[in-house]
Amino acid sequence: MIFDPLLTSSLTVQRQTASADAAGGTARSWANRGDLPSAIPCRIEPASWHLSRQFARDDATVIYEVFTQIDLAATRQDRLIVDGVTYQVEAYRPQDTFPASGLAICQTVVSKRN
């Protein structure tokens, strides 16, 4: 496709799962989503950032937009691992389809706290 050279990164989508631990509590872990490939071509771009201060500690949250050509159907229970860096899914917008080119763009908004 014409936009393939712009998809310079690859991502894996993981979903949080819960299971019982030995003490009867809940253990949470992350597993790759089996309904999606494990190396999805994508493009990630910074969109905005927010700086907050709590208890004399600066906390920065950076918001990124991730673009793919396949429908991730991502939820806030998912996280994306893009080129080895983990991002939490904040919002997801399904495909905008451009019939003339056959291109479908999906936008995922993710955050990373520093």
Q: What is the pLDDT of residues 34-46, one digit of tens each?
A: 899 889 999 888 8
**Cβ distance 111 to 63 under 8 Å?**
yes
pTM: 0.75
Domains of the chain: 4-113 (2.40.10)
Note the pLDDT of residue 97. Answer: 58
CB 30 within 8 A of CB 17: yes
Alpha-carbon gap, residue 62 to 49, rounded angstroms: 4
CA distance to 2, 56, 81, 105, 111, per residue, from 102 (Å): 10, 51, 27, 10, 29
The residue among 55 and 14 whose pLDDT is bigger is 14
